[in-house]
Amino acid sequence: MDLFTFFKKAAMLFCFLLISIFQVADATAIQSTGAGGAWNNTASWLPAQVPVAGDVVTINSGSPITVTAAAACATITINSGGVLTLNGGSINISGSFSENGTLNCMTGFNVLGAGSFTLANNNNAFLMIGDANGITTSPTASGSIQNTGGRTFPATANYVYDGTVNQNTGNGLPITINGGGSLVINNTGAAANNIVTLASNSTIQNVTLQAGFLSLNGKTITVSGTILNSGGDLSSTPIANGGTFNIQGATITGPTTFYNLSCNSSNSTITTSGLSAPLIDGTLLITGSRFGGTNSPRYAAGSTLSYSGSPNNRGLEWNADLTTAPTIGVTQGYPDNVFINPVLILISVTMPLMATLAIFPEG
């Protein structure tokens, strides 16, 4: 290398370093303060200035921030208990996005930019997803999180689908959610525009149905923690395409309508009774384990209770009180149709009446 070329490259390197130093010097560390407020309001921040591209931003617990127009910064950290809502504008990140609290991406507003996105690997982190395409893996420019610098969606966080249009969970939703993490369906769209469709077979510790419908779309979802229905339900679509809820020691609360429900591995528990008990509107399959506790499911007209494998007696799933006239769809433990294969059930007490009882010998 000749001397001229050497000094030329050295000068270019010096200029690059100088520019980088000035860029770092220009970056401002800004944090949310007081009661929080709008991103573009100086009163929401300390120091009192609106963050811009290149700034380092922290959202503190108790000081929620709402983005109401397009926003940008270099890096952003949402502390545990902190809340950032995108409602009126998206946010562009050039560095990193660390989400340890709650990020609420309303329908139509997303995380953008060349930076990275990391959702904390604990059940204090909530990602609220409003986009029709849910969340996707990088670098797909689709879903609530669209940055191109890498996306981390861990197993122990909470994923809340709260759009106002039909949604797909997307291939970014972990196929296993455990460690206290959960899938929450809270879609508040109008009728027929409030369905969240499961993208993959999944094992999820906790499922909460708050609003709208969850469609299994022919997939299987395995739950070992809780199924809580406080206002949502399952879409009627799975009855036609074979979607299955597989419960393994789960606790079921609320009047969820199950179309294909399978009990195995360990006994599950129903905590609600009467018309608040879950309803079987397809097939309940008992393969050995069943329900513990004291409550039974209800059965819709045309539904089936099916035994297969090694259950050796009837349980709570088939224990209707015959001292009063039972009613399909209302009386707990009163199936409309029963299929038994192989013949391993011991009928030891008077059977509740039903539309069909079919017994198939083993083999």
Residue 253, beta-bridge partner list: 228
Query: Quick check: 347 pLDDT over 50?
Result: no
Query: Quick check: 86 pLDDT over 80?
Result: yes
pLDDT classification of 315: cutoffs 50, 70, 90: confident
If you average pLDDT over residues 95-119, what whole number do you get? 98
Q: Order of strands, edge to edge, in the sheet holding 213-215?
A: 167-168, 195-197, 213-215, 233-234
- Tokens 């006239």 identify what position? 325
Predicted local distance difference test score (pLDDT) of residue 340: 86
CA distance 257 to 275: 11
If you average pLDDT over residues 65-85, what whole number do you get? 98
pLDDT classification of 24: cutoffs 50, 70, 90: very low
CA distance 182 to 206: 5
Whether 130 contacts 105, CB under 8 Å = yes
CA distance 44 to 217: 43
Quickly list DSSP for 6-49. HHHHHHHHHHHHHHHHHHHHH--EEEE-TT-EETT-GGGEESSS
Query: Quick check: 5 pLDDT over 70?
Result: no
Whether 201 contacts 172, CB under 8 Å = no
Query: Using one digit for the tens of pLDDT, what is the confidence trace for 251-277?
Result: 999 999 999 999 987 889 999 999 999
Predicted local distance difference test score (pLDDT) of residue 51: 98
CB < 8 Å & 24+ apart, contacts of 92-97:
92/53, 93/117, 93/147, 94/53, 94/54, 95/56, 96/149, 97/147
Quickly list DSSP for 123-173. TT-EEEE-STT----TT---SSB--SS-EE--TTSEEEE--SS-EE--TTS
Query: Nearest to residue 207, comparing CAs of 235, 228, 180, 186?
Result: 228
Query: Nearest to residue 192, comparing CAs of 242, 237, 258, 159?
Result: 237
Predicted local distance difference test score (pLDDT) of residue 258: 94
Predicted local distance difference test score (pLDDT) of residue 308: 85
**What whole-number percentage of the chain has pLDDT above 90?**
76
Whether 155 contacts 184, CB under 8 Å = no
Query: Quick check: 344 pLDDT over 50?
Result: no
CA distances from 27 to 37, 73, 203 (A): 22, 9, 43
CA distance 281 to 258: 6
Predicted local distance difference test score (pLDDT) of residue 193: 96
CA distance 31 to 53: 15
Cα 299–300–301 angle (5° rounding)?
125
Q: Read off the tokens for 49.
A: 């200035």
**Most confident by average pLDDT, 76-80, 311-315, 324-328:** 76-80
Whole-structure pTM value? 0.88
How does the average pLDDT of the chain come out, rounded? 88
Secondary structure letter of residue 202 according to DSSP: E
Query: Nearest to residue 335, comparing CAs of 279, 290, 293?
Result: 279
Query: Quick check: 224 pLDDT over 80?
Result: yes
If you average pLDDT over residues 14-41, what whole number do you get? 72
Residue 213, beta-bridge partner list: 195, 233
Query: Quick check: 322 pLDDT over 90?
Result: no
If you average pLDDT over residues 126-144, what whole number do you get? 96
Predicted local distance difference test score (pLDDT) of residue 356: 60
Query: Using one digit for the tens of pLDDT, what is the confidence trace for 146-179?
Result: 999 999 999 999 999 999 999 999 999 999 999 9
Q: Do β-strands 220-229 and 167-168 pair in parallel, antiparallel, or remain unpaired? A: unpaired
Quickly list DSSP for 51-81. --TT-EEEE-TT--EEE-S-EEESEEEE-TT
Predicted local distance difference test score (pLDDT) of residue 26: 64
CA distance 164 to 189: 4
Q: Which residue has the higher pLDDT, 54 or 237?
A: 54
